[in-house]
Chain A
């Protein structure tokens, strides 16, 4: 049932040198579980999560894949991202090094997947604004230069997470639709169909409040 509605796969990549450092896990958990407090989180794992969305009457099944951020696993990246529609690259605003790692990832993803993939660069931990080491201007101008969007979030205070995911979903849908149009719509190749995101219009608009239910968390 899950995959039938139409799906988009999303990759979350932390620019972290040390594990758990940038907070990508709690970011995703907060989004999918809608919980403020870490103690309330009941999921067994935070590496594969799904979220059902309704964007402008379109049902989307979001599959969020967490990828190992350690340097030693960097070379495995392509195995993860080859079929994804979007990627969230998280850095810690108090850690300049993590921002540099994000830059590496952006370069690689753009090189391998071109413009097919929607990129989001996320500065996490804005609750620690005082200890900021990555300037807002630098981050935002960099994001613009590589065609990515920049966001600020705080997993701790649950700030900016909802907007980030919702925005990214919309962009992924747009990209997929543009892809479809470019391909001449309809005569989809078997190979292409496996890759691209499929969207099916939602029949009754009863679910239109769905976005609200998500943002309430």
Chain B
């Protein structure tokens, strides 16, 4: 719930009036005044902000969040305390539910009366435990993770974790206790080398899984689910301290591989024998998606989520190969394509991510599953890029050196076929240039044809004039004087009497 609210908060304030109007109108007719902020500040409210305007909501939200954090701890503490009463935890879940529910209720009544609600009333009515008490408890608890900077994600994850464990009753409490203990020990081990911290985490994974199977009698598929949740919970917390730690040279390696990939910008798919034809729009779409996924890996905190990014990337690669080749991709196709994707994407902090996953991922996932296979391939791709030389691209040493030093690029040598990995804009530009030059050519042709036409026309008129002249000369026009007077028609018909009798003009006397 919190995260969706967060997203809504980013809505630019100048457009809030418009948005609320729009969303309200979709439903039944609402009175204009109901659209206003519940706090009565004069701005429009929004259902996404529980009827407040964005500014008022931000104030409300800050307080609500504090409250929730406290409630979370309340919940966690209670879980720990009530070890014997396994089912008593349902009480606290009611508490959590009542919080959201009463909020809802409150909103409803607010809408009815359209009263200006104060911040305090809005939230304190719903909470069981006074905020003072929670504050005291928070201050008392010596747990190191409380001192953490409370980020929204961490809060959400711990809440989910607690909720998840509730479904396992006693085993869930046991797990929660162990996880807390582990996090505390990890806090004191922060100064140790990263390898030792990794070892601790791996031991923890194994012991928890074993305990669940032997003591808790949890079925294997559930163990896996719980392990995933545990990993998510602890790694969200530890991430800050164990990802790319200062004690290692991870960062140096990151920069080295980044520089290396940049230096290899000239590598074409042909050199790697990548069985992917990016001319096909669907394929280039898949390639873009694969690159996005591999870049996204860096933004995840949990090793498993990072692995999921690699897996998604791999699936897109397989799709691209399948569309191009129309047969299932083997490793012979997959690895070169993955290398190509890594070269094109240049994912941020690649080495750190790989190291982090290796050190802190639940080993059972890394060793056996599909994710593990793709991860291994990514490791291979990175190893290949690091060691890549002229031979591995089927180039001569001289060519390789020249490309590496940036003296020439393979693209410039054959401008006729620019590589498809040039960016889309450049490609389009080349296409347009091509079209323009074609157009120019045609224009010229039209001009010359037009000139020819003009000349032809002139020639033709000249020719005609000449011909006419010739004819005129040949047959000069002579106007002869009329030999027979036109009046002859009207003259007396001389041969009337020769006509047959019916046509003989009657002659009237007189």
Contact = CB atoms under 8 A, between A and B. Distances in A.
17 contacts: A2-B368, A3-B364, A4-B220, A25-B328, A25-B332, A43-B328, A44-B318, A44-B322, A45-B328, A46-B330, A63-B369, A68-B380, A72-B391, A73-B335, A75-B383, A79-B380, A190-B203
Contacts of B330: 19-20, 24-25, 45-47, 66
Interface in B301-315: 315
Nearest to B369: A3
Interface in B342-389: 363-365, 367-370, 373-374, 376, 379-380, 383-384, 387
Given A1-B224, A4-B220, A48 B370 contact: yes
B51 interface: no
A44 B328 contact: yes
B181 to A, nearest CB: 19
B258 interface: no
Interface of B: 202-203, 206, 220-221, 223-224, 273, 315, 318-319, 321-322, 327-336, 363-365, 367-370, 373-374, 376, 379-380, 383-384, 387, 391-392
A197 to B, nearest CB: 10
A5 interface: yes
Contacts of B206: 190, 193
Contacts of B224: 1, 3-4
A217 B21 CA distance: 63
Interface string A9-41: 100001010011000110001000000001001
Contacts of A69: 331-332
Contact of B329 (A38, A46, A83): A46
Given A4-B223, A9-B368, A190-B203, A73 B373 contact: no
Nearest 4 Cβ contacts at the A-B interface: A4-B220, A66-B331, A19-B332, A25-B330
A24 B330 CA distance: 9
Given A48-B373, A73-B384, A67 B368 contact: no
Interface of A: 1-5, 7, 9, 14, 16, 19-20, 24-25, 29, 38, 41, 43-48, 50, 61, 63, 65-70, 72-73, 75-76, 79-80, 83, 190, 193-195
Nearest to A73: B335
B334 A68 contact: yes
Contacts of B319: 44
Nearest to A190: B206
B331 A68 contact: yes
Contacts of A66: 330-332
Contacts of B322: 44-45
A43 B322 CA distance: 10
A79 B383 contact: yes
A67 B331 contact: yes
A179 to B, nearest CB: 16
Contacts of A46: 328-330
A73 B365 contact: no
B220 A1 contact: yes
Contacts of B380: 68, 73, 76, 79-80
A45 B318 contact: yes
Contact of B368 (A38, A61, A75): A61
B94 to A, nearest CB: 33
A47 B376 contact: no
Query: Which of B221, B328, B374, B379 has the most chain A CB within a 10 Å cutoff?
Result: B328
Contacts of A43: 328
Query: Which of A47, A50, A68, A80 has the most chain B CB within a 10 Å cutoff?
Result: A47
Nearest to A80: B376
Given A5-B220, A44-B315, A70 B332 contact: yes
B369 A2 contact: yes
A38 B387 contact: no
Contacts of B315: 44
B493 to A, nearest CB: 105
Nearest to A24: B330
A50 B391 CA distance: 34
Nearest to A44: B318
A202 B464 CA distance: 107
B367 A194 contact: yes
A47 B369 contact: no
Contacts of A67: 331
Given A66-B330, A68-B334, A76-B380, A3 B368 contact: yes
Nearest to B202: A190
Contacts of A20: 330, 332
B329 A4 contact: no
A8 B336 CA distance: 26
Contacts of B334: 45, 47, 68
Contacts of B318: 44-45
B368 A7 contact: yes
Contacts of A194: 363, 367
A48 to B, nearest CB: 4
Contact of A68 (B223, B336, B368): B336
Contacts of A65: 331, 373, 376
Query: Which of B315, B364, B380, B387 has the most chain A CB within a 10 Å cutoff?
Result: B380
A16 B380 CA distance: 19
Contacts of B383: 75-76, 79
Contacts of B328: 25, 29, 41, 43-46
Given A1-B221, A80-B376, 7 more contacts: A3-B365, A4-B223, A19-B332, A45-B334, A47-B330, A73-B384, A76-B383
A73 B334 CA distance: 12
B471 to A, nearest CB: 81
Nearest to B374: A48
Given A3-B224, A4-B221, A44-B318, A76 B329 contact: no
A3 B370 CA distance: 10
Contacts of A2: 368-369
A75 B392 CA distance: 11
